[in-house]
Amino acid sequence: MFSFCKMQATGNDFIIINYLDTKLEYSYKLLSEFLCDRHFGVGADGVLIIEKSNIAEFKMRIFNKDGTEAEMCGNGIRCFAKYVFEKNFTNKKEFGIETISGIKKINLEVEGDTVINIEVDMGKPIFELEKIPVLFFNNIKKGYINIEGIEVYPVSIGNPHAVCYTNDLENLDINKYGSLIENYKYFPNRTNVEFVQIVDDNEIRVRIWERGVGETYSCGTGACAAVVISNKYKSTKSEVKVDLLGGKLKIKYNSNIKLIGTAEFVFDGRIEI
C-alpha cells in the first residue's frame, strides 16, 4: 500500500508524497500519470514530492498529470508549505523551499497550529526570450508575439508562460487556443497559457491552460504572469486581485512578485500500486 495526502489551492489539486526518510521505489513519471488519473487513480492536476535539500529546509519536485516535471508551481508550493508545517516537519513560519527554478521564500500566517495564509516570494519575472525560452526572436514586437492572429506575451515565473487578452472570457474556446499556444513551435519546452480579461486597474479575471494538464481551476505562477504582464503593458497597479475559476489570489508586484493565498487539506489516503 502507498500513502499520500490530497490537497488543493484555489481548486488546483495535488497529491503530496513524503520521501524525506524513504527511498524512491517508483518512477516519478509513471507514478504521477497513475495517481493523477481521475478514473483509475486518486485524481489530481499534479504530484508534489517532498525531498531533503542541501540548500534549503525542503526540496519540492513537481510532476504534471502527464508525467512531465515542472520547474515551479505557485499553488503547489502553498500546499507544500502548509503540509510541512501542519504535519510538524517544521515549526518555522519563515523558511525556504528548493525548486528547479531556485529557492522560494515562504512566510506563513498562522492561528494556533493552523496555517490560514501563505505568502510566497516568487522572485523576479524573466522577460529575456532565450531564458523563457522562446524561439524566433524577430517575430516579437511591443512585448508580444503574433501566433495565428493572437497577441501572446511571453514571460517566465521560473516556468514559461504566455499571456493573452480577451473581452469575452466565458465564451473563449480554451481547448482550441490553449492547446494551440501551449504546443506552438515558438516554445521549445511548451508553455502555460493565461487568458486574461481586465476588470479594472486592481482586478483581473483569468482562465488557465496548464502545460501538460489542460484547463485547470487555478495556477499560482499563471496568476503571477498575468499580473506582471498586465502591469507592464496594460497599466494595472502593483497589487492586483486575480479571479480564477477556483477562487481568488492576491499578487503584489514591485521588483519581486509576492503570491498570497490559502491552501486546504482534502484527505489522507492509501492506494494499492
pLDDT of residue 239: 96
**79 given a catalytic annotation:** no
Distances (CA, A) of 167 to 118, 172, 195, 198, 206: 31, 9, 10, 8, 11
- Residue type at position 257: I
- Residue type at position 151: E
| Choice among 36, 79, 164, 219 that is catalytic | 219
**Taking the domains of the chain in order of start, what are their residue ranges?**
2-123+260-271, 129-254
Is 2-123+260-271's fold the same as 129-254's?
yes
What pLDDT band is residue 273 in, cutting at 50, 70 and 90?
Answer: confident
Range 87-104 burial, b when 16+ CB lie within 10 A, else e:
eeeeeeeebbbbbebebb
pLDDT of residue 136: 73
Say what percent of the chain tops pLDDT 70.
99
Domain 2-123+260-271, CATH class in plain words: alpha beta
pLDDT of residue 137: 64
Is the pLDDT at 116 greater than 70? The verdict is yes
**164 given a catalytic annotation:** no
| Choice among 5, 36, 73, 79 that is catalytic | 73
- Nearest residue to 206 (alpha-carbon basis) of 262, 217, 179: 217
> Which of 9-23, 47-61, 131-145 tops mean pLDDT?
47-61
pLDDT of residue 257: 98
Q: What is the DSSP letter of 168?
A: -
Domain 129-254, CATH class in plain words: alpha beta
Report the C-alpha gap between 143 and 233 in whole angstroms.
8
What pLDDT band is residue 22 in, cutting at 50, 70 and 90?
Answer: confident
Report the C-alpha gap between 124 and 236 in whole angstroms.
18
What's the predicted TM-score (pTM) here?
A: 0.93
Residue 269 region, left (φ>0) first, then alpha (ψ -120 to 50), else beta? beta
